[in-house]
Structure 1
Amino acid sequence: MSKAFVRESDQPNDDDEDMTLPPLPPGSKNYMTPGGYARLASEYRWLLDRERPEITAIVSWAAGNGDRSENGDYIYGKKRLREIDRRLRFLSRRLDSAEVVDPAAPRDNSHHIFFGATVCFANQTGEEKTVSIVGMDEIDPFKGYISWISPVARAFLSAQEGDTVTLRTPGGVEELDILSVSYRAIPMEPFVPPSSPRGKRENRQG
């Protein structure tokens, strides 16, 4: 059956998205860098103050244009509102539970590896890599940003320059040599709003 003709009450529960989220360790905090927090907060404000009102206006406009079951703007708008509300709830929970830690802030234990550390290490083949330990919502493999609950970050926890740590993976055990540990600002890409839904509708009408 086409989803366009399914009653709203038959749609999947909005909270189903939570089942795919990476879980926090029991009792732990949701650590996040200032840049990561700012990005989530910007997305939250944009969804709440800009996109949701625009989509609501589109739905109201489309509702007066005949049979709703064949009204593409109405069907899309209602679906998008559900997605926005689900995302807003997710962002609200993430922001409410956030423990913001600035990697660049002065610290007494700067030689040991904790959240926010940038670590250069070598694997058993001598290949050198650099990773920065960030929050779960800040992961970027292309930049070497890894979650603080990832296996690599957990293996590094509390270690320091010159240590060798053991990384256990499904593929076996690997020894990693820590070459350097530093704490500095970790750049985060800002939230970039997509094109305005109102603009898209006006383009279609034109």
Structure 2
Amino acid sequence: MSKVPLTLRGAEMLRTELQKLKSEDRPRVVAAIAEARAHGDLKENAEYHAAREQQGFIEGRIKEIEAKLGNAQVIDVTQLNAEGKVVFGATVELADEDTGDEVTYQIVGEDEADSKKGRISVSSPIARALIGKEEGDIAVVHAPGGTREYEILAVRYE
């Protein structure tokens, strides 16, 4: 399986979630299952079935996070020597050529993407158009909503 890029912040978020699942959520659900078993007949015990379903979700999420961290290539963007080039992890300030609107995005891994916080997936149309460009370049983005052009105003590695 190929390595998946992940920023330091993204890897730390996944590790924190994994730790919470293992140390808090899993023991809580195991206790709930034990308590529900104590009530007797398991066939018609809704608490037992709900707790088992929750346990399945938690165990699935633990396996998913462990797999993601196992396949992750953690990239520290502050250590990159990209000299103004847009690379994975870079924060890019853009100006829409048509409207003049300015936006700022950080290019991150799939699991870290959150457009409301200005973090876009490395596989998104905007990120793919930006990768490899430099400050002052025009990036042509072919998105489902049509073609847009953005001027790269600044590139930072935070």
Task: Report the TM range for the smaller structure's normalisation.
Answer: over 0.9
- Of residues 62, 83, 97, the one that matches 1:88 is 62
Specify every segment of 5 or more residues in structure 1 that has no aligned partner in the other structure, as ranges: 1-26, 185-206
- Residue 110 of structure 2 is matched in structure 1 by 136
Conservation of the 8 A alpha-carbon contact between 1:112 and 1:158: yes
Q: What aligned pairs does 1:40-189 form with structure 2 within 5 A after superposition? A: 40-105=14-79, 107-123=80-96, 124-184=98-158
Distance in 1 of aligned mates of 2:2 and 2:134: 23
The 1:28–1:156 alpha-carbon spacing in structure 2 relative to 1, beyond 3 Å, is farther
* TM superposition shift of 1:28: 4.9
8 Å Cα contact 1:110-1:183 kept in structure 2: no
Aligned counterparts of 2:2 and 2:39: Cα–Cα separation in 1: 51
What letter corresponds to residue 102 of structure 2 in structure 1?
E
Give the superposition deviation at 1:136: 1.0
Question: What is the TM-score when the length of structure 2 is the normalising length?
Answer: 0.92
Once the two structures are superposed, residues 27-59 of structure 1 have per-residue CA deviations (whole angstroms, 9 ceiling, x without a partner) of: 753111111111111111221222112211221
Give the TM-score, by structure 1 length: 0.72
The structure whose residues are more often strand, as a share, is 2
SS in 1 for 2:25: helix
Unaligned runs of 5+ in 2: none
In structure 1, C-alpha distance between the alignment counterparts of 2:2 and 2:89, rounded to whole Å: 16
Kindly indicate whether the alpha-carbon contact (under 8 Å) linking 1:110 and 1:182 is maintained by their aligned counterparts in 2. no
Partner Cα distance (1:101, 1:61) in 2: 44
Q: What secondary structure does 2:77 align onto?
A: coil
Cα distance change on mapping 1:120 and 1:28 into 2, 3 Å = farther
Q: 2-side partners of 1:128 and 1:82: how far apart?
A: 44
1:22-33 correspondence runs (5 A): 28-33=2-7
Residues 126 and 143 in structure 2, CA contact (< 8 A), matched pair in contact too: no
Q: Deviations over 1:133-172 (max 9, x none)?
A: 1111111212111011111000001000010111112232
Q: Residues of 2 paired with 1:80 and 1:183: CA distance?
A: 40
Give the C-alpha shift of residue 112 in structure 1: 0.4
State the percentage of identical aligned residues. Answer: 37
CA distance in 2, matches of 1:84, 1:60: 16
* Alpha-carbon distance in 2 for matches of 1:128, 1:50: 42
CA-based RMSD = 1.4
